[in-house]
Structures are given as structure tokens and as C-alpha cells.
Amino acid sequence: MSAAPRDERAYLTREYVDPTGGRQTRRVWTDDGRVAAFDGREWWTVCTLTAAQVAQAKAAIRAAGLLTAADLAAPSDLHDAADLTYRWRLDGRTGAVTNHAYPALSHPNFVALEERLNALEDEASNPQDGG
Amino acid sequence: MARQRRPAPVRRRPAPAAPVLGGAGVAPVELAEPTVEPAASLTNQAMQRSLRAGAPPAELVIEQRRSLGNQAMQRLLPASTGRRQSAGPAAESPIVTRDPAPAPALGTPLAPPAPARDPARTFAVPKFTHLGPRFDADYLPVGPTPAEGVLTITLKVHITFKDFTRAMMRQEPFAAHRFTPEQRADFAWTAAEKAAFATDFASSVQSGWSEKHMMDLKEPTFDHHRAKVKIVVKIVPDAAQAHNKMTAQKVPTVGPADKKAPRFRSFVQGDTSTLEIRDAKETEALEHREKKLVRQVKSFANNSAALTPEMEGQIKAIADIVKAKKITLGPDGAAKWEMFFVGRTTSSGAAGLNDKLGKDRAAAVQTKFNAEAGQTTANQKVVSKGETNAGTDPKFRRVDILISNMGGTTTVQFNTAAHEAGHMFGLDDEYVEEKKGGEGQFAGDEPAHYGDVKALMGAEAADEMLVDNSGSLMSKGATVKRGHYVYFLQALNDMTAKKWTVE
């Protein structure tokens, strides 16, 4: 078990909330490179990004349009969807974007962001030896 | 004179063109049972007709025994079953389960036949059928009471099975889970799991919904009829025939209790749904706090805590409910009932000012309520939620009144399959889910089915549907309320052209 990351050092937080069961999970990316996850019971460290990878992660947030993205509302005929929220802190500003129709629908600004973040975490978890 | 028989009214879902009999736009009802004629018009010819159609119903045979005699009946019956009797006329009768009446003594007048039922007081057909976009309904009328008929609700579901994937491991809530090697090897559906899912889903929905209430028909000029409600789930191979097209999502189920993979968030959207493997059989333990009352009093004028005449009327109505139901506050065994006046505002204006305005509004409603109900402030609390999660809609200028058990919470085993089936039947959610900007559902809101319940069943049944975290099946519990049968009631009313009630 790891300590909870300090929110003020987080440039990105992902929160999942299940309205029926009240289940919550979180994933936090902090300036020191740490990527931590909360599974509803405890925190654990997923990986640690290098400074360069942190910069790439922040670039991916901007490139995904997260800073100007709007919430995705749930259609009126959709029942029991969960909320998936990204909270960001970048360039002296803060904000949040929520997909209220998760997992039935994907938020268009989340897809590319998640692909890039996953790739960075894979690199950090499996660093290639230099030649 | 033979009674006129008319085909039962049928409503069909849009379907490919098919041969139509009986008139344009109306297809005849497919009768599974032979018709039963009233006793007064029975003749040997009537029995012969039934025999040609198939095995005659028990009532017809019993009546023929009375009028023709036992030996005459035995000569008729063997020909219909195709079995020739070699001995013993009564030995092979396949239908009658009741002993025939003894022959009357000489000189004793025969008992008069049972009086015929007035056809104007009974249903003219033995079966009604309704084919709808969300479910089919069949009603077999049996009456008058104490005999009961059966309303069968059939939900046809087509299932597509979807394996778990590595890509899903990177998505919440699975991204926060540390998968064990055994779980990583448990991504694919097995044939046995598929079969069990289909069976268990049907069983969970049938047991969760069947026979929770009775349908009741009382009209002055019609025999009293009652009907049980049975739910049948049919898994159909053709998606075009299904009311709901379901994706069954595999999630690894192996592993110790404290390392289980999290539950996939199941959902229903329109005529599609996605449920995970465990939803068919495993319940979830959910907690809620019991309430005796959840109501909203609205709407205040902008920036005001003064009650309008309409709001005063609402408060009086709430006080009348509390008095009529003899609701008391304070300790009651393990429970401790407290009343909360929760003031709200829209999101306009400063948060600090809205906080105070919310409290002023709550205090105003409390004062008026206590005056109407003759209560004191004991076991009452005035709180303010201000502009929390509110939007700009004037509906947020209100006070929520709740009577909650603060002595503890109640745990209920939540049947996900039955809950999702409720959406398939047309019902909305009833649990609280406040979202920023005033979206979502707040305590005391009217769910989408509220209006239909109120129109068909009255305000008291509708008020049981108000949004609240409760033991209701469409909230976080397992209780099927009367109002949850609203669309079954609507189908029954439409089929029979009568006004039934749900008891």
C-alpha cells in the first residue's frame, strides 16, 4: 500500500464514480512523476514517469483539448451510467471535464489522451535499455 | 342462440408484412386453448366440435356428464384421444380429474344446472394478447373471485457474449485493479458460463418481478376479477424478435474475495443493454438510510425566503400526510427519526450569500410546518445546501423535507438483473445522483415514470416513486412498489378495455 498522492502536486486526476454502488476509483499523475491508483480500498503506485515523460503527459493533455472540453451528458434513454472525470492543473489554471455516460459512450477528448498516457506508463514500466 | 365471438384486440410491434386475416390491420389472436361455451348452450354437437378441435376442457366434459350421463360421455371421449378402450370406461379418461356426481334416486327431481353467467358481466374471449415494444402481455381471464386469472408479461432478450480484453484492463474501474495471473487467464466466456448466465438472468428477473402485486378489477356491472402477474423471460436467437438486445460482458470472476475484479457498470440504453457476468446471479449489498418522507417545497422568489401561498399549501399537504400517517420523531426501538429542512438556492449569486439564504428558507418552511402539524422543533434540523450542485433553474429555490432514520442504515441485496429489467419495462431510476449544474436526480424529484403512475394509479402510488436512496428496486433495493407495475397495468387496461387497479 502506498500513501495517497498530494493533490496540490497533481497535474491530472481521473475519477470514476458508480452511482448505484457508490464505488469510486482514482488515478493521479503528479509532478514528481508518480502515477498512483486508488482501487476503492487502498492506494498503490502504478509507475514513475521521468521528467521528460511528465512533460509529454502534460503536452498530451493540451493536445487532447482537455482544457477547453465540455462535459458529455448522458442521453435521456441511458440508465445507470457512471461518471468519469478528468481534473487538470496546468499553465496556472485548473478545470474538470466529465463523461456522464460512461462506459456506454466515450468522451471524444478522452480517447487520444488515454492512448498517450497508457503508452507513457508502458514505457515507464518497461524502460528500454540504451544501445 | 350462439354467442357472437369476436377476436381479441391485438397490438403488434412493427414487423415484416404477413398475411392478415380478420380485417385490415388486425391479425387474429392465436388461441392456444379451445373455446369454452357457457353451460346453458351446451349440446352434444358442441362436444363433438370441441373433440374435433382437440381435447375438450374439463368444464365442458363435467357439464356433459351431468346432462348426458356418464356412459354417454365415455362413448364420446375415447374417439377424441385416439386410444381405444379395451375395458373399464372410466379407466383411460385423460381429462376429468373430478368424480362424477352420483345418480339421483327415483322420484327425486334433477338438480337444476348451474345458472349461466351473464355474458355481459364476463370477458367474451378466453385470452387477450398485447404485443409491445418493451414486452408482450397475455391475460387469461378467470373469474369471478375468488378464482384468479393470470397476466403473463413476456420479456424477449437476445444476448451477445463479449469477452474481457487487455484494452478493458486500462479502463476504469479496472485500471485501478491489480489483476492476478489467474484473472488474466479468465478473460473468455466458457460455454457453461454462457448457459448459466442466460438461465440465471431469466430466473433473477422472474423472481424479482413476479407476483409482487395483484391486478384487480371492480366494476359495478362486471364480475369481480383478479389476476396474478407472472414475468417470463425468453432468450431468443434472433435479435429482430427481441425486446432488448443485451451484451453480456465477461469480467474475470476468479480470485479471493478481497481481490475480486471490480463490477462493470451495467446499463440500459433504449432497447439495448450491457450487463456483466455476475449481474445474472450475484446480488450486491447496498446500504441506504430509511425514510418516512421525502418532499420538495418550491419555489421561492429570487433572493427571497418568503413563502408564497402555493408553498404554504404544499406545506399544509405535507403536514396532513404526517398527521394522517401518525409519523412521530425521535427514538423508536433501534431507529431514531429526525426531520431535516434542507434549504437550497440556484447557482446565481455568491456562494456565501446563497448559503445563508438556503438556511433562511429552511427555517421559514420549518416554522410553517410546525404550525400546521402542531409539532415542536425537537428532533428537527435546519440545514443549508445553498447552491451545491444547483443550476439556474428556479426549481432549486426550494426546501427539501426529509424524515430519516439517523439510528443506522439498512443493507439490502440489490438484484442488478431485476433493476435493469425495470428499465427494459420502461421505468426510470429512483436513486439520488446529484451532478454539478443541476443535472442528475435530487431527493424528492419525480422520475420519468412518475406522471404515468399518477395518471393511472393516483398520487399516493406516484409519491412512492419520488427519487430517494431507498429500498425500492429502482433505487438501491429490492422492493417492487405498486407503481412499478404501471406499464403492465396499462397493457392490461388496453387489452381488456377496462380500468384495473394494482393491489
Question: Does pLDDT of B35 surpass 80?
Answer: no
Tell me the whole-structure pTM to 2 decimals.
Answer: 0.80
Q: How would residue A129 be classed by pLDDT, with cut points 50, 70 and 90?
A: low
Span B214-235, average pLDDT? 96
CB B79 within 8 A of CB B40: no
Q: How would residue B103 be classed by pLDDT, with cut points 50, 70 and 90?
A: low
Residue type, B225: H
Q: Which of A14, A79, A98 sits opposite B429 (nearest CB)?
A: A79
Q: How far apart are CA B309 and CA B364, in angstroms?
A: 13
Instruction: Please tell me the predicted confidence (pLDDT) of residue A131.
Output: 45
Instruction: Please tell me the predicted confidence (pLDDT) of residue B90.
Output: 36
How many CA atoms, within 13 angstroms, populate the side-chain half-sphere of residue B89? Answer: 10
Q: Looking at this predicted complex, what is its ipTM?
A: 0.94
Question: Is the CB of A39 less than 8 angstroms away from the CB of B267?
Answer: no
In this predicted model, which residue has the larger pLDDT, B29 or B265? B265
Instruction: Please tell me the predicted confidence (pLDDT) of residue A22.
Output: 78
Check if A82 contacts B (Cβ < 8 Å): yes
Minimal CA separation from B448 to chain A, in Å: 10
Which range among A20-24, B58-62, B215-219 has the greatest average pLDDT? B215-219
Question: Is the CB of A81 less than 8 angstroms away from the CB of B265?
Answer: yes
In this predicted model, which residue has the larger pLDDT, B23 or B164? B164
pLDDT digits (tens, 9 = 90+) for A20-46: 877 899 999 999 999 999 999 999 999
Phi and psi (nearest 5°) for B433? -150, 85
Of the ranges A114-118, B29-33, B131-135, which one carries the lowest mean pLDDT score? Answer: B29-33
| Chain A residues touching residue B172 (CB < 8 angstroms) | 14, 16, 25, 27, 84, 102
Q: How would residue A3 be classed by pLDDT, with cut points 50, 70 and 90?
A: confident
Question: Is the CB of A18 less than 8 angstroms away from the CB of B423?
Answer: no
Q: How far apart are CA B458 and CA B447, in angstroms?
A: 15
Instruction: Please tell me the predicted confidence (pLDDT) of residue B91.
Output: 35
Question: Which uninterrupted H or E stretch holds B295?
Answer: strand B291-298
In this predicted model, which residue has the larger pLDDT, B73 or A126? A126
Question: Does pLDDT of B258 surpass 60?
Answer: yes
| Chain B residues touching residue A22 (CB < 8 angstroms) | 286
b/e map A85-101, b = 16+ CB within 10 Å: bbbbbeeeeeeebbbbb
Of the ranges B230-239, B285-294, B423-432, which one carries the lowest mean pLDDT score? Answer: B285-294
Q: How would residue B109 be classed by pLDDT, with cut points 50, 70 and 90?
A: low
Long-range pairs, B461-465, Cβ under 8 A, ≥24? B461/B502, B465/B430
| Chain A residues touching residue B433 (CB < 8 angstroms) | 19
Span B276-303, average pLDDT? 94
Question: Does pLDDT of A92 surpass 60?
Answer: yes
Q: For all residues of chain B together, what is the average pLDDT?
A: 83
| Chain B residues touching residue A104 (CB < 8 angstroms) | 267, 269, 274
